Amino acid sequence: MSNNVVLVTGGAGYVGSHAVISLISNGFDVVIFDSLELGHIEIVNSLKSISGLSGKVVDFVRGDLLNLSEIESVIKTYKPCAVMHFAAYSQVAESMANPQKYYINNVGGTLNLLKAMMNNNVMKIVFSSTAATYGEPVYVPIDEKHPQQPINTYGKTKLMIENIMDDYDSAYGLKSVRLRYFNVAGADSNARVGEWHEPETHLIPNVLKSVFEKGNTFKMFGTDYETKDGTCVRDYINVEDLAQAHVLALNYLLNGGETNYFNLGTTSGSSVKEVFSTCEKITGQDIPVQVLGRRAGDPAVLIADNSKAGEVLGWKPVKSLDDSVNSAYNWEKILQSNKVALSER
């Protein structure tokens, strides 16, 4: 491998796998470090195939960030120029029911990663953070000056890691970029990787699953919000646009950029009803829906102000909601056909 190696933790997962594609298409070699608890070896194999065609290298090491010696060994072996850190638990409801699991894994795992990095003089990291660090919006669109007051344990773990990274910069000079995602959507345009969660909690794949799975009715929570059509409005950012932002953030750090943080969203919101009707349009299907009352803790509107990422990183999202739904649908077809093939074995 070259000295242009990036270590990607959680690279067998949803956003991490798309970031790997973006890295290899921008000339980096990659080593993925993933426990495969939530990631998939099929995704790793797909990424290796893509890298083979591009002339870049993707290596995979199975390991757990809670085991310091495992992550230390990978960093010693590969000597990466920087790290992209995606490995985390991210289910909001589970984080509230079992906070210990989230603090140990998300915060403890990151502390081990940072220790291994510093022990080996790897001093640059791009961190997968979240708009959940902001909590209930005080104003929209949400910019980076918005107060960070997370209302769930998942968001609290991500904010804690951001604070740790500030302290590590002040004390040790470890430089980080924290990317705060809004609602990630879509899949690779060539359907090579995509969203694959068990259970699935995100809106678009859940709507699409209702097309394939008989008796799986999509549940729409809350139609009485003070929004354009009564349903919640969210900022759906395409996963390929998101992956490109990670490469821009990496290059910013490699070119001497200081520790920083950026919102990643589109600046425009789509309501649940708009997403639902886009899914019906793309699939050409009438999708069964059950309208229920509001869920606790769902703000009416969450939209990003992404101007800072544009000004500092030169990032501009280009994909539309239609693009995201179309790519997610193509990926869901592959997941469903694989499920059928497995059931027939």
Question: Which residues form the catalytic set?
Answer: 154
Per-residue burial over 90-102, b if 16 or more Cβ lie within 10 Å, else e, is: bbbebbeeeeeeb
Backbone angles phi, psi at 183, to 5 degrees: -90, 110
CA–CA dist 231, 225 (Å, integer): 6
Q: DSSP states of 315-342 as a string?
A: ------HHHHHHHHHHHHHHHHHHHHHH
How do 236-238 and 29-34 pair as beta strands? unpaired
Backbone angles phi, psi at 263, to 5 degrees: -80, 135
CA–CA dist 344, 245 (Å, integer): 41
Backbone angles phi, psi at 229, to 5 degrees: -130, 15
* Whether the Cβ atoms of residue 182 and residue 237 lie closer than 8 Å to each other: yes
* Whether the Cβ atoms of residue 86 and residue 16 lie closer than 8 Å to each other: yes
Backbone angles phi, psi at 247, to 5 degrees: -70, -40
State whether the Cα torsion 292-293-298-304 is positive or negative. positive
